[in-house]
Structure 1
Amino acid sequence: MRDFYLEQITWDIEYNPDSNITLYILHKGAAFRICYVAEALKASPLALEQHRECSRILHQGDGDPDAIRPVAERLTKPFEELMNRLLPSPATEFQLTESLHGYLYPPSFELEARAAESSEGVVQAHFLGAVSRQKGGACGLVVGFLQPHLSSLLALNVKTYSSGQVQVLAYHVTPRARRAPSKVLVGNTVFFFKLFMRPHDHGRHELQSFVKILADAEASRPLLSEARICRLHGLLIDEDDDVLQHYDIDDSEEYRPGVQRLVGLLFTYIDNKGTLRHIAPWSDCSNEDRSCWSRQIHNTVTSLHAAGVVWGDAKPENVLIDQEDNACLIDFGGSYTPGWVDREKQETAEGDWQGVKRIDEWLARWSHQPITSRLMSR
């Protein structure tokens, strides 16, 4: 869509021909929420039928980007002129496509599709208003909710940055076409960026895990010095005044100066070929490769437990294969994934070993012989 980037599109999970369809579009540093509501289109039978056809395609496509893309382009087209008119002036002030701050906190506008009886199916773009500070909300979690874990990390000399100091180098696309920053640059160093939007319990679990990992690194005989894991480098903390500078304040909203939010984590960047989930099934992967990865995962989990750290969400997607073909464990945010770790065992050492065993069983499906490991008997 040229310089109109589809960040996300949503529709009802259960098939509904009159499903609301919402597009989130980024355009020249501004964010637009485009709402298609069947009720606003029913005056034109043709426009309503076109809407229902889009709903059907999205539902049948089940998140396939090749199915989403043409529908998104079709639904965005009637709004392009309006979006250009709504861009802040001068537009160059907000063209921060490579700035993490610009990505996280763009000025935002809400638009709606409507159709008149005489429109012959032509959708009319309507401006509903700028998204207020209250409705837009802010990224991350208020720092006060995350004590004492943040204090413990800062005591271990973890560096802090603001999003304005971070340049985005690359994005990854999540389910339903949502784009998120991944590879970023701070100064002259490349890091992996992770947006901190976890529920409080899992967020605390992740911070607690890195307190233990960093404390181990400072020990006289660290247990994790050779462990192949993602390592925390820094915290991204923004002030509310800076976060919400583009938003209007609702009359009903209480102004709270000085509030800080943890918006993201910076990790040492692991140059990788992909996740174990994607790499292991390849036909050019040997049984020796898969057995080596299994041993490395076992050894790393053993080291983590010795340091008092639980991996948590053990599954192939949370193992990166680096450029030297080593298996590196990532994501210490806890929780669990059905089929890999049982719910009652989540965030426990027992759950880790259950997940590791199931990873071995999964690896064996792609091998001509069973995956063996000296730790398989656990």
Structure 2
Amino acid sequence: MHDWILQPFLPIFRKLAPLDQILKYTLEDCVLAEEFHYMVQVLEENLVPVWLGNSKCKKNHLIGACLPSAAHVDYSMFPVYHPSEVQVPIEANSTSLPAVPSKVFIHRRSKPSFFKIVYAGDAGMTLKELLAYSKIQMAQFDATVRTSRLDGLVQDGGGHVMGLLLSYIDYHGATLECIGGRHPEYSGFRQKWVYQISHTLKRLHAHNIFWGDAKAANVLIDTNADAYLIDFGGGYTKGWVAKETANSIEGDVQGLENINRYLFDCILEVFLSTLMLPVLFVRHKWVPEEVSFKLG
């Protein structure tokens, strides 16, 4: 929004009560927040706000998808929470709630979750994600299979799924694409990351689970310098996976090969395993204890 239109509203903003640090705010306070409706008129060459009314707990028609019955995808194994059951932590110096929070806490749980918002047009993508997370849950993978996991769903009183609660990965905003994995600073981690991604994909494919949109931007690098695969909503990104091979083992392999090229900026030897995944080799052996990692 342009500054010139905000200027006449500054006195109104100053009158609004600041956040109460004692209160426990929830997703309901963020996505179903009270709204103040105004229009702007020009009086004697001045912009003047004109109050139209308030609305409290009115559903945003852009947020929340109505999913088909569980007959299409069985996600009954996951708990469902109302927005009022998901707490949103606030910083001591915060002056307002985030419109879409990311780090949240399910009521009576000490571990945080990541809130992934679902918009009205996301039904198809969300169903694909639920199918993948259902298979991941049933597979009972160990910790070496590094993917996000589903902690639950957020659903409003009308049955609309407003978001997914995913396992929280502490990554400080660092994806493989964001950190620029080709930078010399990360030369000691590239083979490790390719190995971790390849290993995770092998295990996923063994259970008929596809990554889909395989690309560097969908790999999180956590604070321990480990690579996690995210986003199982399907689709593809030009330059990473071809449209014809999207959402298949072949497409995932193609994405992995392009990630490998992105990291090393050269073509390495690629051998296909019995699971149709490449085993990648580089000249220098990865020795975990000889490297350190720092983000930011």
The answer to whether 1:162 aligns with 2:86 is: no
Matched residue type, 1:166:
V
2:230 to 319, 322, 330: 330
Deviations 1:127-172 (A, max 9, x none): 34446988842631235x353356x222x3x22222112122379x
Structure 1 length normalisation: TM-score? 0.61
1:81 to 4, 7, 11: 11
Q: Secondary structure at the match of 2:30?
A: helix
Confirm or deny: 8 A CA contact 1:363 1:371 kept in the other structure. no
Deviations 1:314-335 (A, max 9, x none): 1111111122211110111112
Going from structure 1 to structure 2, the CA distance change for 1:362 and 1:146 (only over 3 Å counts) comes to farther
Gaps of 5+ in 1: 1-22, 24-70, 172-177, 240-258
Confirm or deny: 8 A CA contact 1:170 1:182 kept in the other structure. no
Deviations 1:157-201 (A, max 9, x none): x22222112122379xxxxxx953111122222111111225222
Shift of 1:81: 3.0
1:349 match: 249
* Structure with more helix by fraction: 1
Question: Aligned partners of 2:38, 2:238: CA distance in 1, in Å?
Answer: 38
Going from structure 1 to structure 2, the CA distance change for 1:128 and 1:363 (only over 3 Å counts) comes to same
The answer to whether 1:318 aligns with 2:218 is: yes
Shift of 1:376: 4.0
Q: How many residue pairs align between the two structures?
A: 263
1:265 match: 164
Matched residue type, 2:33:
P
Confirm or deny: 8 A CA contact 1:212 1:307 kept in the other structure. yes
Shift of 1:373: 5.8
1:285 match: 186
Confirm or deny: 8 A CA contact 1:275 1:318 kept in the other structure. yes
2:205 to 305, 308, 330: 305
Matched residue type, 1:206:
E
The answer to whether 1:107 aligns with 2:34 is: yes
Shift of 1:216: 1.4
Shift of 1:79: 1.4
Confirm or deny: 8 A CA contact 2:115 2:166 kept in the other structure. yes
Question: Aligned partners of 1:297, 1:166: CA distance in 2, in Å?
Answer: 31
Shift of 1:228: 0.7
* CA-atom RMSD in angstroms: 3.2
Deviations 1:179-236 (A, max 9, x none): 531111222221111112252221211111112111212xxxx5x6631111111122
Going from structure 1 to structure 2, the CA distance change for 1:181 and 1:238 (only over 3 Å counts) comes to same
Matched residue type, 2:61:
G
Structure 2 length normalisation: TM-score? 0.76
Question: Aligned partners of 2:41, 2:80: CA distance in 1, in Å?
Answer: 46
The answer to whether 1:205 aligns with 2:105 is: no
* Structure with more strand by fraction: 1
Shift of 1:370: 5.1
Question: Aligned partners of 1:292, 1:228: CA distance in 2, in Å?
Answer: 13
Q: Secondary structure at the match of 1:272?
A: coil
Matched residue type, 2:152:
G
Going from structure 1 to structure 2, the CA distance change for 1:208 and 1:82 (only over 3 Å counts) comes to same
Shift of 1:260: 1.6
Question: Aligned partners of 1:76, 1:92: CA distance in 2, in Å?
Answer: 21
Percent identity over paired residues: 31
Shift of 1:115: 2.5
Deviates more, 1:277-286 or 1:202-211: 277-286
Q: Secondary structure at the match of 2:258?
A: helix
2:155 match: 237
Confirm or deny: 8 A CA contact 2:182 2:264 kept in the other structure. no
Gaps of 5+ in 2: 92-97, 272-276, 281-296
Matched residue type, 2:48:
Q
Going from structure 1 to structure 2, the CA distance change for 1:179 and 1:314 (only over 3 Å counts) comes to farther
The answer to whether 1:142 aligns with 2:72 is: no
1:340 match: 240
Going from structure 1 to structure 2, the CA distance change for 1:329 and 1:373 (only over 3 Å counts) comes to farther
Matched residue type, 2:80:
T
The answer to whether 1:215 aligns with 2:138 is: yes
Going from structure 1 to structure 2, the CA distance change for 1:263 and 1:135 (only over 3 Å counts) comes to closer
Confirm or deny: 8 A CA contact 1:160 1:237 kept in the other structure. yes
Deviations 1:54-92 (A, max 9, x none): xxxxxxxxxxxxxxxxx44x431211334567x6xx998
